[in-house]
Amino acid sequence: MTSSVQEPFGLKIYRAASSASEPVAEFLLKRRLRSGKEDPARINERRGVAGRERPDGMLVWIHGASVGESLSVIPLVRRLQELRPDLNFLVTTGTVTSAKLMKERLPDGAMHQYIPVDHPLFVKNFLNHWKPDGAIFVESEFWPNLILGARDAVQSMALVNGRISPQSFNDWKRQPNTIRFILSAFDTIIAQDYQNADRLVELSGGAVEMFGNLKNAAPALPADEGQVEGLKSAIDERPVWLAASTHPGEEDIVLAAHKILQKEFANLLTIIAPRHPSRGQEVQELATAKQLLARRRSEGDDITKDADVYIADTLGELGLFYRLCNIAFVGGGVTPKGGHNPLEPARLGVAILHGPHTFNFVETYRDMRDAGAAALVRNDRELATAVRRLLADEKTRSAMSKAAHVAAEASAHPGPLRVDASKHNADDVGDEALLLSRYAPVWIARNRPDGAKAAADGNADVIIMDDGFQNPKVKKTVSILLLDAQDPRGNGCIFPAGPLREPVARAQSRADITVAVDADAAAGNAAKHLASRFSAWLEPVNTPPAQTVAAFSGIGKPDKFFDALRRKGFTVAETISFPDHHPFTQSNLAALTQTAARTKAQLITTEKDFVRLPNTFKENVLTFPVEMKFNAPTQLIDLILEAIDRRRPALMKYQQRAITNMKHALPDWTEQDIKQVMGDVWENLGRTGAEYAHLDKLHIDGKNPRIEHDGFDRIRNQDGSFQQVIFVTGHFANWEIPAICAKQLGVSFGVIYRAANNPLVDELIIHKRAATMTRVQAPKGRRGARELVAMLRNEYSVAMLVDQKLNDGISVPFMGRNAMTAPAAARMALKFNVPLVPIRAVRLNGAHFRVTVEDAIQFEPSGDTGADVYALTEKINKKLEEFVRTQPAQWLWFHRRWPKDS
């Protein structure tokens, strides 16, 4: 593509200077070669000289700077190959480490080359040889010669998983024309999250989309299963934890934490995997200085019993070490590097600790902490305290590990997505969702409100939110709390000190129903101290005949499964436990087969584990189905229905009122029309409520204007000032927007408003209006009437919402029915001879609006005040009716606008 934007002078200087700097580029390449940062066998690729022939056919070029970016594109390449098997793929990166990983992991049909240095000649060499048909840049590699050269050479370009760090954002803001010109080369820009989308919108001045983070969709890091088993054997029963992707300064903290922990865990093993393996010797010297014995993997050292620290200074083996440790400190966050990807350990069910500087993964780390999967540490003492707690408390560690795995699954499938057992497997949607889909439609969604809305759009009458008790984003009709009767409080501590999300007593006070879950509840032994009327237990149903079995399970408490087998009469020859949600590997399956043969026993597992097995292995395995039984199922169902009925009026009366209003006002509408508009009305109302906190960010100009406007010239005087008018409008879109727009254009006005029922909410709204619109505000009523007169006498314009019912108003037709209507706007217009000007907001998309000022309502007074007020009020209602019919989904239909018998 070509840009219509003129190339900035500074960028022209850069490109001219780089054209004349080939000797400098060569000098830098040679220096990097000497320091081991370049591959001598492939150094010419950095000059744009290809290391292989271009394949025939169309070629898509994908560029990622280093390890993280290149790994994130592998799932993208695989998916594109499925969709377009006719395409060839070229992946470029700039580091030796990433090149080695691409050699190992790129699928067949994709090839790797080093990216050329940003010199015009080198870029030209590269593009002339490869002649790519399309280019995809990943994250934030903005080399001008490369991008602008590609712009002129390829048919289309995209920036995907776009990211701008806070520092880069501030740097580029000092060169706004340059970055805007560079970004204009891309036909499509897709950000990895909303924060980066906002930054890219401001820098590019154009449209930016957001589909989620590519790194969320990456598979679990690979590992050699034989090496996993070998190292596990070497570690034996020693307590172990991992410090992964560490940077200079962080190893000091890790080693200091080790010294603190050693006082309690004498045989502790700390594994350190530095972000750059070349620093292995440096890390070993740091450990030696602290009188710690350190072994290095790159030197072929084994994990010996006397080793305090094992340094994993090899390439591409992080997946191996995450499988050895269920506790990991992820580096790059104590030092301000922005943090590294927490989803890599989370996919393997590892409890995560991290530092405060995580700006590269802000939303991911926040979601992890909210889910109870990660905890923040700032120094060696906090790190030691967190690791000690996880090493000592298996229940807290298990809860955190499970939360990490669940959070990783949610991030990989942000949804909303309806589970289809005929198409999806456990890797696609998670084992629990796949299992539940046998019994009812199941939706998975990272964002709970989006999932609930998708289920509602799918005609669900009742939505059951799994594991949603602590989730505040969706209002629940009924909350049911399940507690483990044998151990309801764990260690009694709130995460991250323990497994609890909140004190048990507080949770019970919030819950409508508490159920004590206990394997012995059938015998009436459920814990009475939980003050629960209801108890529940898992009861085997339709089980296979009792026989000799080898039982394996990867659930939260495998021993409960093994005990249930014994109670049912099975002879359990051997038990094999795996972590919760464990992804079974070929090595695991081979070991299970050997166990079955050695013990001459039938393999058996839970239904949850069964769905994670490969189809080819399932035929060798029996399942042990269970159902949850309740001590008083009828009373429980009655209580749930009572709770629903209690809340139904609060939730449904407004909807029913709105539906009734629509049927009377728009009799030609079908039920489907009403249902569709009703959903949009609720969505608009929800957005409006959420926008109150951000009214100060809605602007008519700037780099990212949220408000378009039209028609204000109708009320502008010749000298540029504004006439005094009475603005009349209704509850359309976000009804605060017209006043914000008027304020930013320089209109002097006051507002008349109806006070909120909650005094605190009313006070907050008044302060928001004062900050974003006007300090001249008056509530409806006698006081408001006096202040309205004062405003008009002082030549202020006035903004009024005139679409609400007023019991002591006048009966005037509205939408074909008489409606009790406030006459104040008409009365004041006549009294002060001020024009009545209709104004309204329309929501265009999300938090983007258009405000339109229409011509003043034309009216000739007759001299009969009562008749004139009625006639002018009728004209106002006709204008409102026009607005409603034009945008019915953006009007607030919930008012008691008409008498019941009209």
CA dist 865 and 844 (Å) reads: 40
Beta strands 602-605 and 749-753 are unpaired
CA dist 15 and 143 (Å) reads: 10
Instruction: Report the candidate in 715, 710, 711, 713 with the shortest Cα–Cα distance to residue 834.
Output: 715
CA dist 554 and 552 (Å) reads: 7
Q: Which two tokens stand for residue 659?
A: 């539906």
Residue 767 buriedness (CB in 10 A; 0-12 / 13-18 / 19+):
exposed
Question: Helices in 165-274 by DSSP H: which ranges?
Answer: 166-173, 176-183, 194-204, 225-235, 250-262
Instruction: Report the candidate in 184, 230, 126 with the shortest Cα–Cα distance to residue 1.
Output: 184
Is the separation of the CB atoms in 190 and 160 below 8 Å?
yes
CA dist 856 and 838 (Å) reads: 7
Residue 246 buriedness (CB in 10 A; 0-12 / 13-18 / 19+):
buried
CA dist 445 and 429 (Å) reads: 10
Active site residue 69: yes
Instruction: Report the candidate in 252, 419, 430 with the shortest Cα–Cα distance to residue 347.
Output: 430
Q: Under DSSP, is residue 78 helix (H, G, I), strand (E, B) or coil?
A: helix
Is the separation of the CB atoms in 777 and 766 below 8 Å?
yes
What single DSSP character describes residue 92? E
CA dist 401 and 18 (Å) reads: 50
Determine which one of 45, 69, 139, 409 is catalytic.
69
CA dist 823 and 858 (Å) reads: 17
How far is C-alpha 354 from the chain's CA centre? 19
CA dist 581 and 402 (Å) reads: 7
Is the separation of the CB atoms in 853 and 714 below 8 Å?
yes
Is the separation of the CB atoms in 680 and 892 below 8 Å?
no
Question: Helices in 666-736 by DSSP H: which ranges?
Answer: 671-691
Is the separation of the CB atoms in 46 and 29 below 8 Å?
yes
Is the separation of the CB atoms in 66 and 95 below 8 Å?
yes
Residue 669 buriedness (CB in 10 A; 0-12 / 13-18 / 19+):
middle
Long-range contacts made by residues 674-679, C-beta under 8 angstroms, separation at least 24? Answer: 676/889, 677/888, 677/889, 678/893, 679/456, 679/457
What single DSSP character describes residue 336? T
Question: Helices in 314-361 by DSSP H: which ranges?
Answer: 318-324, 343-346
Other CB atoms within 10 A of residue 68 CB: 20
Amino acid at 90: L
For the chain, the maximum distance between any two Cα atoms, rounded to a whole number of angstroms, is: 106
Active-site residues, by number, are 69
